[in-house]
Amino acid sequence: MGSRRRRQQHHGRWVVPSVAPAAAAFVAAGMLLLVVAFHCFLSPPPGVGGGGSFVRRPNPPFLLNKPGELRRNLVGTVDFTVPSGGSKLGEELWVSKSAHNFVGCSNATKEFADAKAVTESNRYLTIATSGGLNQQRTGIIDAVVAARILNATLVIPKLDQASFWKDASDFVDIFDADSFISSLSNDVKIIRQVPERNGKTPSPYKMRVPRKCTPTCYENRVLPALLKKHVVQLTKFDYRVSNRLETDLQKLRCRVNYHALQFTDPILKMGQMLVQRMRAKSGRFIALHLRFEPDMLAFSGCYFGGGEIERRELGEIRKRWKTLHESNPDRERRHGKCPLTPEEVGFMLRALGFGKDVHLYVASGDVYGGEETLAPLKALFPNFHSKETLASKEELAPFLPFSSRMAALDYVVCDGSDVFVTNNNGNMARMLAGRRRYFGHKRTIRPNSKKLSSLFLNRTSMSWDTFASKVQMFQKGFMGEPNEIKPGKGEFHEHPMDCICARTKGRTGHSKPHLSKHVGEAVENRTSDVEFDWRDLDYGENTPLGRDSSYETDPDYSRVGGSDVPELEDIISD
């Protein structure tokens, strides 16, 4: 390393003495930069000592060919001291103080008639779901609502088996069909298959409805076909029912999602066994839905420091979606639309106050960059687990060939965690966030990416205490507290407000949101006029775009993650 220049005080100012001509100084500065670069990239990671962890980004899994790329990535190689201990907040970090003031409430009102009284004979509705596990889950939930709107009998939904991963699982392989049918018997009549006519099963009339179709939309578009054809199949059925509905229909959504739609016993038992093994290692744990796979990164249009190789690799993947605009990585990051790297997620959690001894369960596909990309996160949280590390190959064997069943295991473990952290706003993140709110407002953390991105870029210019203080300030409104969102806003599966009631003395009533001073800031920070839609980013799914993408917008739809924009259909999964 070069020797440090001494500064001299001259007339009250600090100056650097001139000891060589300008050209020589320029060459010396360039040589110093190269020496620093060589040292940072080739020296081994520092050890752990004293009271803190020293975490350094590992050598990038990409070759940086341009000097400009080298200088840009030097920022991430500076050692950053992180205290080993956790926050003094203690229990408050793990559990919201006000969580016990709210309870899930989805019972039907007296005005909601029994299914036997409203179901018309000779009307059969079936759907073909689209996407990965959680995208299909939204379709199943809304299929029940659509059948109720049409006073029709619902046929057990058909799952998507033609996706990129070719998952041959059917409804009964993932969900408990008997529970589904019986639990909803008072709401919608459900059968396993359409009755035969003259010894043959009638072929359904296939059609598609726009995204966010309202009850009136169903009555105008689907009911005439149902009256004429009697058996109708709605295709590519995901997010095809309006976000805003009358209260009884919203409560029906909750009864389907949180009570009727249960995983099969093999999935539940395996998932619960994984939860038990996590708890045996530590009394409580964090579950992280990392979502840092190549397809996710390509779709985001962001840059993560991998030079020309990264740009070429992710650029090729991005070409699959013809309707995506040309990416502008700096703009995407400024607008908070880039997922955090595993290292950044680790820094965020440590800054929030979670100590190095916390056990972390990570739900993820193949991470871009592999183990080198995960190394900084594992250094920050050495107690790093996944279903593959908790279970043997023999135990996972029945699930391994099926991406949806593997995703279901992650869903069960994330749901059973004390704290759930999501690095995206995709279907799994939304479904779990809503479920955790319904069942007691269990802590759910989503990064305030818009504010955190600039902080991460400048983190080496400040002390750890300053960095942690800023992270904690930026995350207010993003920690899964009750009523973090303005009334009437947000996607329903993530914020099922019609199904959450406030506990009061002697009775339980609907929540009247009391917004904290940070709510407006949180909503503002999450909103962008150009933000893309994450709902099609499901787990382990990659299907081509359809030609009939609906660009219908719903003026009532406004979610936390951004304003409502035209969606890309079947992009990726969870």
Q: Say which amino acid occupies 499.
A: C
* Segment 220-249 mean pLDDT: 96
Q: Model confidence at 46, in pLDDT bands (50, 70, 90)?
A: very low
Q: What pLDDT, on a 0 to 100 scale, did the predictor assign at position 287?
A: 98
Report the alpha-carbon distance of residue 373 to residue 363 in Å, rounded.
15
Q: What pLDDT, on a 0 to 100 scale, did the predictor assign at position 85?
A: 75
Residue 246: pLDDT over 80: yes
Q: What pLDDT, on a 0 to 100 scale, did the predictor assign at position 34?
A: 53
- The three-state secondary structure class of 153 is strand
Q: Say which amino acid occupies 19.
A: V
Comparing 351 with 505, the larger pLDDT belongs to 351
* Segment 304-329 mean pLDDT: 87
pTM, whole model, 2 decimals?
0.78
Report the alpha-carbon distance of residue 216 to residue 234 in Å, rounded.
16
* Segment 82-86 mean pLDDT: 78
Q: What is the mean pLDDT of the chain?
A: 79
How do 419-422 and 285-289 pair as beta strands? parallel
Comparing 566 with 511, the larger pLDDT belongs to 511
In whole angstroms, how far apart are CA 184 and each of 143, 145, 154, 261? Answer: 12, 11, 11, 10
Q: Say which amino acid occupies 421.
A: V
Task: Retrieve residue 516's tokens.
Answer: 């904290």
Contact status, residue 388 vs residue 364, Cβ threshold 8 Å: no
In whole angstroms, how far apart are CA 264 and each of 53, 170, 172, 258, 270? Answer: 43, 12, 8, 14, 10
End-to-end CA distance of the chain: 47
Within 8 A by CB and 6+ apart from 316, the residues are none
How do 102-104 and 500-504 pair as beta strands? antiparallel
Q: What pLDDT, on a 0 to 100 scale, did the predictor assign at position 164?
A: 61
Top mean-pLDDT range of 52-56, 357-361, 556-560, 568-572: 357-361
Q: Model confidence at 29, in pLDDT bands (50, 70, 90)?
A: low
Contact status, residue 335 vs residue 530, Cβ threshold 8 Å: yes
Comparing 216 with 569, the larger pLDDT belongs to 216
How do 52-55 and 359-363 pair as beta strands? unpaired
Residue 372: pLDDT over 80: yes
Task: Retrieve residue 525's tokens.
Answer: 């920070």
In whole angstroms, how far apart are CA 307 and each of 71, 200, 256, 333? Answer: 11, 60, 47, 16
Q: What pLDDT, on a 0 to 100 scale, did the predictor assign at position 457?
A: 87
Q: What pLDDT, on a 0 to 100 scale, did the predictor assign at position 227?
A: 97
Q: Which of 435, 436, 425, 448 is nearest to 345 (CA)?
A: 448
Q: What pLDDT, on a 0 to 100 scale, did the predictor assign at position 31?
A: 57
Contact status, residue 76 vs residue 375, Cβ threshold 8 Å: no
Q: What pLDDT, on a 0 to 100 scale, did the predictor assign at position 102?
A: 94
pLDDT tens digits, 94-129: 999 888 899 999 999 999 999 999 999 999 999 999
Residue 513: pLDDT over 70: no
Q: For residue 192, what is the DSSP state?
A: S
Q: What pLDDT, on a 0 to 100 scale, did the predictor assign at position 425?
A: 82
* Segment 330-353 mean pLDDT: 92
* Segment 27-32 mean pLDDT: 54
Q: Please report, rounded to a whole number, the percentage of residues in the chain having pLDDT higher than 90.
A: 57
* Segment 276-303 mean pLDDT: 93
Q: What pLDDT, on a 0 to 100 scale, did the predictor assign at position 561?
A: 32
Report the alpha-carbon distance of residue 295 to residue 310 in Å, rounded.
12
Q: Model confidence at 65, in pLDDT bands (50, 70, 90)?
A: very low
User: Contacts from 507-512 at CB under 8 Å and sequence distance 24+?
Assistant: 508/103, 508/105, 510/105, 511/102, 511/482, 511/483
Report the alpha-carbon distance of residue 443 to residue 480 in Å, rounded.
5
Neighbours of 374 (CB within 10 A): 21
Task: Retrieve residue 479's tokens.
Answer: 């920690």
pLDDT tens digits, 516-570: 344 344 434 443 333 334 344 443 332 222 323 332 333 332 333 333 333 343 4
- Considering the four listed CATH numbers 1.20.272, 3.40.50, 3.90.1570, 2.60.40, the one that applies to the domain covering 115-262 is 3.40.50
* Segment 41-53 mean pLDDT: 44
Residue 572: pLDDT over 70: no
Angle between helices 307-318 and 67-74 (to 10 degrees): 100
Q: Model confidence at 278, in pLDDT bands (50, 70, 90)?
A: very high
Contact status, residue 292 vs residue 366, Cβ threshold 8 Å: no
Q: What pLDDT, on a 0 to 100 scale, did the predictor assign at position 3?
A: 40
**Least confident residue range of 134-138, 208-212, 246-250, 530-534:** 530-534
pLDDT tens digits, 411-468: 999 999 999 999 988 899 999 999 999 999 999 999 999 999 889 988 888 999 999 9
Report the alpha-carbon distance of residue 154 to residue 271 in Å, rounded.
29
Q: For residue 258, what is the DSSP state?
A: I
Contact status, residue 456 vs residue 347, Cβ threshold 8 Å: yes
E strand segments, 137-260: 153-155, 190-191, 205-207, 231-234
Q: What pLDDT, on a 0 to 100 scale, did the predictor assign at position 305?
A: 87
Contact status, residue 374 vs residue 62, Cβ threshold 8 Å: no
Q: What pLDDT, on a 0 to 100 scale, did the predictor assign at position 30?
A: 56
pLDDT tens digits, 320-337: 888 787 778 888 888 888
CATH 3.40.50 domain extents, the chain: 115-262
Q: What pLDDT, on a 0 to 100 scale, did the predictor assign at position 190?
A: 98
Report the alpha-carbon distance of residue 571 to residue 239 in Å, rounded.
14
